[in-house]
Amino acid sequence: MALHKDEAIVLFKRAYGESDKIIRLFTLTSGKVAAIAKGGNKSQKRFMNTLEPFNHIKVEYFEKHGKGMVRLENADIVETNSGIETSLHRVCTASFFTEFVDRLTKERERHDSLFHTLKEILTKVKDAEFTFDDILYYQLKMLEILGYMPNFSACVYCGKEVVEDKKIYFSKERGGILCHKCYRYLPHKEYPKGVIPGLAAIKNMFNGSGFGSTLRNQGSEKFSVQEKTEGYRAFDKEMREIMEEFISFHLDVELKSYRVLKNIVF
């Protein structure tokens, strides 16, 4: 039985019996790992407040032949989730991204970039409530890391590049845009001009302080505050629909935390 040492983010925990805990960890070097913490509900020495969701911890665990559930031996805090609990908005955001990682990754597949991205999200959400654009940005970034990124640049049927103002047809079945010639051959939805380029721009141009102030104010001096607000909401709704339908069709995933997050943020 080998002893392993690693960094991990706690994705999920639940009680098991009277004294144990079942933990799902996203580790730096081994990917997603299921673990049992013997005495985790009672131990004041090894696991005191360390196995809470969203915590970044250092762990030691034993495993048999690299398969099945591991036995957690020790866990020490690197960075706590303190700050996330201050608002339902932050809890739901953190829950959404940990569930996103949990559902879209397989056991024991290493994803260094995804680990660091999730750690970055959990650090930032402790200090600020994420906007619609923040959430979309990190969602797209994670999809790109995992190889599921939608194609926003070229027609997914003929392969030709599509100019910005012609990016109005999106096929969830093919996972990307269609040109003005090919759209008639495949199932698709037509979106207002600017929606698909706007979604791609959030991924490519996000500056860490809220991309909306750049994208949404272009040419907006002609409109009243009410008109701008209504326009932004419609724009957001269309982008959200693209992502929801794409993820549901291709990844066959329904995220419980997302239903709550929609009501709070969107």
Q: E-strand spans in the chain?
A: 2-16, 20-27, 31-37, 56-64, 67-79, 169-171, 176-178, 189-190
Q: How confident is the model at residue 45 (pLDDT cuts 50, 70, 90)?
A: low
Q: What is the pLDDT of residues 62-111, one digit of tens each?
A: 987 666 899 999 999 999 999 999 999 999 999 999 999 999 999 999 99
The shares of helix, strand and coil residues in the chain, as percent rounded to the nearest 5, are 40, 25, 35
**Mean pLDDT value across residues 216-245:** 62
State the average pLDDT over residues 182-203.
Answer: 93
User: How large is the average pLDDT for residues 135-141?
Assistant: 94
Cα-Cα-Cα-Cα torsion 9, 134, 241, 176, nearest 10 degrees, comes to: -80
Q: Which residues of 21-48 are buried (b: 16+ CB within 10 A; e: fewer)?
A: bbbbbbbbebbbbebbbbebeebeebbe
Question: Torsion over CA of 260, 262, 264 and 266, rounded to 10 degrees?
Answer: 180
At 63 the pLDDT is: 87
Q: What are phi and psi of 201, to 5 degrees?
A: -65, -35
Are 7 and 56 in contact, with CB atoms under 8 Å apart? yes
Mean pLDDT of 110-138: 94
pLDDT score recorded for residue 44: 60
Say how far apart CA 212 and CA 53 lie, in whole Å.
Answer: 30
By C-alpha distance, which of 225, 199, 205, 206 is closest to 130? 206
Average pLDDT value for the chain: 87
- Domains annotated for the chain, with CATH where assigned, are 2-79 (2.40.50.140), 131-265 (1.20.1440)
Question: For the chain, what percent of residues have pLDDT higher than 70?
Answer: 86
